[in-house]
Structure 1
Amino acid sequence: MWASRDGRNWRIGTAADVDWIAGHTTDGVSITTAIPPVFDAYATTYQADDTTTAAAYERALVDDLISHTARQPWWLAYLDTGAHDVVFPLAPRVSLYWNWPYVLVEAGPEQALGWRTGHMRHGLGSLPDLFFPADRSWLVSALWDDTWTCVGGPDPLIGSLQRNPLANARRVEPDQDALPPGLTRE
């Protein structure tokens, strides 16, 4: 299926495009609740404070991802809560995690940064709730009820995120609680 936006047609994803995620995460509080245990390294990241804008934080995260990814399409997934922008409201949904419905579309980093307005976790920003490149070399996922974002990928990517002060990333082991220090669960 295809959907039109910005004068282009975009491929809408199916369950087959996320079958490597669906059913491969674990229940609990570890990072593998959001990210399947298939990567070399893991981290959590979040907008550190009110002095960093959502746009600057999201741009820093995406720039690090771009610098560690060969040029290719990205899959962008928007959780359908009924109250937040899913970018393609008429598109079919795929189920992930606890059968949460997502709109999945094949696009790229610029669309990840610009398609949605008003993120459900902090009211600002535009990033999808879940996204990954076509080669599945990394995965970024923010679960509905978390105020942070989980990342799984190659060790150099996680190291780069850790060194980037705007990305505010903390390395996490697969069996470690993903909750960043100073944050609370809602």
Structure 2
Amino acid sequence: MQISKDGRDWRIGTAADVGWIAGNTTAGVSITTAIPPVFDAYAATYQTDEVTAAAYEHALVEDLGAHTPNQPWWLAYLDTGAHDVVFPHARRVFLYWNWPYVLVEAGPEQALTWRTGGHIRHPHGALPDLFFPADRSWLVSALWDDTWTCLGGPEQLIRTLERDPLANARQVRLDEDALPPGLTRE
């Protein structure tokens, strides 16, 4: 299925496109609640009060893009009923606890610009709730009730994010609580 936006057609994803995620996460507080245990390294990241949503999100996407060959990205918007899903009439795919997502094949530019109504982590944020490149070399996912974002990918990418003060990432082990220091669960 294709859907139009910005003068072009975009491919809407199916369950097959996220099948590698579905059923491969485990309920709990570890990073594997959001990210399947298939990557070399894992991290949690969140926007600090000292950094704007735009600066944080641009830094995150820039760091991810620097470690990704030119290819499409899958962008997924969680349908909470309260946040912009970009394509409100597109079919949904279901992940985690049968949560509905709009999944579209696009790229980093669209990840930073399509969403205009904010998201669960920040009322002025634009990022999708889940996104990954076509080659599945990394995955970024923010669960419905979390104010932070989890990611998995190559060690070099995780180290880059840790060094970027705007990305504010902290490496976590598979068995470790993904909750960043200083944040609380709601």
TM-score interval for Structure 1 and Structure 2 normalised by the shorter chain: over 0.9
Deviation at 1:122, TM superposition (A): 1.8
- Structure 1 partner of 2:100: 101
Amino acid at match of 2:113: G
Q: Does 1:165 align with 2:165?
A: yes
- Structure 2 gaps of 5+ residues are none
- Counting matched residue pairs gives 185
- Please give the per-residue CA displacement for 1:69-92, whole angstroms capped at 9, x wherever unaligned: 000000000000111110001100
* Kept after mapping to 1: 8 A contact 2:43/2:150: yes
- Structure 1 runs (4+) greater than 2 angstroms displaced: none
User: How many Å separate the matches in 2 of 1:7 and 1:18?
Assistant: 26
Q: Counterpart of 2:102 in 1: which secondary structure?
A: strand
User: How many Å separate the matches in 2 of 1:121 and 1:60?
Assistant: 16
User: How many Å separate the matches in 1 of 2:137 and 2:122?
Assistant: 27
Written as runs of structure 1 = structure 2, the 5 A alignment for 1:130-141 is 130-141=130-141
- Please give the per-residue CA displacement for 1:118-144, whole angstroms capped at 9, x wherever unaligned: 122221110000000000000000001
- Structure 1 partner of 2:17: 17
- Structure 1 gaps of 5+ residues are none
User: How many Å separate the matches in 2 of 1:35 and 1:105?
Assistant: 19
Percent identity for Structure 1 against Structure 2: 81
- Please give the per-residue CA displacement for 1:101-131, whole angstroms capped at 9, x wherever unaligned: 0000000000000000212222111000000
- Structure 1 partner of 2:51: 52
Q: Does 1:32 align with 2:32?
A: yes
Q: Counterpart of 2:61 in 1: which secondary structure?
A: helix
- Structure 2 partner of 1:72: 71
- Structure 2 partner of 1:155: 155
Amino acid at match of 1:124: H
Q: Counterpart of 1:77 in 2: which secondary structure?
A: strand
Deviation at 1:98, TM superposition (A): 0.1
- Structure 2 partner of 1:174: 174
User: How many Å separate the matches in 1 of 2:178 and 2:155?
Assistant: 17
User: How many Å separate the matches in 2 of 1:134 and 1:122?
Assistant: 26
User: How many Å separate the matches in 1 of 2:81 and 2:143?
Assistant: 16
* Kept after mapping to 1: 8 A contact 2:120/2:147: no
Q: TM-score, normalised by structure 2?
A: 0.98
